[in-house]
Structure 1
Amino acid sequence: MVKQERAVRTRKSLIDAAAAVFAEEGYVPSSLATISKRAGVSSGALHFHFENKKALAQAVEEAATDVIHELVRLSGSASTSALQALVDATHRLVACLSDDIVVRAGFDLSAERALGADAGLVQTWQAWVEETLHRAEAEGHLAPGVSPDVAAAAVVAVTVGIEVLAGGDPQWLAERRIAGFWELLLPGLAPEHVLVSALPRSG
């Protein structure tokens, strides 16, 4: 049991260290030696858990995807409209991007061509946004003529774009950025009666 717990801690340390190194240096330039040093473990311990850098990067993205799954789960409930769940999820996502280096690195890795077709965190987020906006349409919470797919493209572009821009200026992750986006988008997205109950909010 003690060995298992130690192995779990070591694996998590390696994932956290890899996320930090990937975020700072980029996937391609980073080295396993730098990651093992950041994690405070030997090169042998790293290779025990991960065959190569690609496997480690995939583990980072998988960990980030788990966070996103939990994030969207917390944003929805039986009493929450699809549109409100989407607004809340974007607020939570921006908070995660600010606080969780694994999530930040996961989004960066999702766009990394060197990882090939296995990279898919952005696709996971996009699929949920699209599904949620189609549910909003079914609930009658989209304005006439609004395409769920077009709206989803705007939401995904802005949320992923915020993460990219934050690499040069952390202020892009300020809550006012995503709140301002919804204040701009919602009046054209939802009917007037929906705006009363689907205002931007965090939490």
Structure 2
Amino acid sequence: MAKQERAVRTRRLILEAAGAVFDEFGYESTTIAQILARAGVTKGALYFHFASKEELARGVLGQALTIEGILPQESRLQEWVDVGMVLAHRLPGEPLLSASIRLSADRKARDLFGTSWPAWIDFIAGQLAEAKAQGEVLPHVDPGATATLFVGAWTGVEILATAHGESGALEKRIALLYDTFLPGVAVPGALRNLDTAPDRGARVWKAHQAQKAQQEQQEAQQEAGSQEEAAAATTA
């Protein structure tokens, strides 16, 4: 078990290093030597998990669609907002996420291994379809077409915000993106109740982290209790 956990940690370490280097230099200019230096692992360890730079890029893209930190809401539209806002909050500090966008926008790179966009579009289209079934979305709205347009807009906003380098710019601009999109998507009653404040992602992520810490603490206590019971049964 310890060996398996160590392998999982090593793989994650390599992916994070690859993400940081891809994000900084782009796919074509990145070398395996740079990733090795950033990860601090041996060449053998890297090739045990990833056979090539292309496979590393695919691994980074596999981390792109993340719904971690999205707490269940009664409103599916609010969950859609939360997905984009939490990602906007996390992305500036997580090169692994940022690299997935850069790789997707790199024409030469995406010719080799595609992009993260289709999975993201499908996920958002599903959220919008559920919201429509709940009566939150205007009748004329096409979930698939809207999701495609939104992902394109979100990506463009992220690229512009990153280029300007303003602190907190991405969260502010993604909040504005939702405020611009939603009146054409949501029924008035649902629209009034949506939270699209720029700090929405930070608040949801903080609540998720607290919930996750509490769950881990409970699991640790349960495991300790089970070990005590096993020890008691052995000595009985």
TM range (shorter): 0.7 to 0.9
Residue 114 of structure 1 aligns with an amino acid whose one-letter code is A
- Name which of structure 1's ranges 162-171 and 88-97 shifts more when overlaid on structure 2: 162-171
2: distance between equivalents of 1:49 and 1:144? 47
With the length of structure 2 as denominator, give the TM-score of the two structures.
0.73
Query: Is the alpha carbon distance of 1:189 and 1:5 closer, same or farther for their aligned partners in structure 2, counting shifts above 3 Å?
Result: closer
Matched with 1:22 is 22
2: distance between equivalents of 1:24 and 1:94? 18
Aligned partner of residue 146 in structure 1, secondary structure = coil
Matched with 2:40 is 40
1: distance between equivalents of 2:16 and 2:5? 16
Matched with 2:99 is 105
2: distance between equivalents of 1:40 and 1:48? 15
Map residues 179-190 of structure 1 onto 2, 5 A cutoff: 179-190=175-186
Query: Is the alpha carbon distance of 1:146 and 1:59 closer, same or farther for their aligned partners in structure 2, counting shifts above 3 Å?
Result: closer
Query: Is the alpha carbon distance of 1:132 and 1:29 closer, same or farther for their aligned partners in structure 2, counting shifts above 3 Å?
Result: same
Matched, 1:130 2:131: no
Gapped regions of structure 2 (runs ≥ 5): 205-236
2:68 is aligned, of 67, 70, 91, to 70
CA positional deviation for 1:116: 4.1
**What is the identity percentage for the equivalent residue pairs of Structure 1 and Structure 2?**
36
Q: Answer whether contact 2:137 2:185 (CA < 8 A) is retained.
A: yes
Query: Is the alpha carbon distance of 1:191 and 1:97 closer, same or farther for their aligned partners in structure 2, counting shifts above 3 Å?
Result: same
Matched with 1:164 is 159
With the length of structure 1 as denominator, give the TM-score of the two structures.
0.83
CA positional deviation for 1:185: 2.4
CA positional deviation for 1:54: 0.8
> Across the two proteins, how many residue pairs are aligned to each other?
197
2: distance between equivalents of 1:31 and 1:145? 48
Return the index of the structure with the highest Cα Rg: 2
Matched with 1:192 is 188
Q: Answer whether contact 2:84 2:174 (CA < 8 A) is retained.
A: yes
Q: Answer whether contact 1:19 1:106 (CA < 8 A) is retained.
A: yes
Q: Answer whether contact 2:138 2:186 (CA < 8 A) is retained.
A: yes
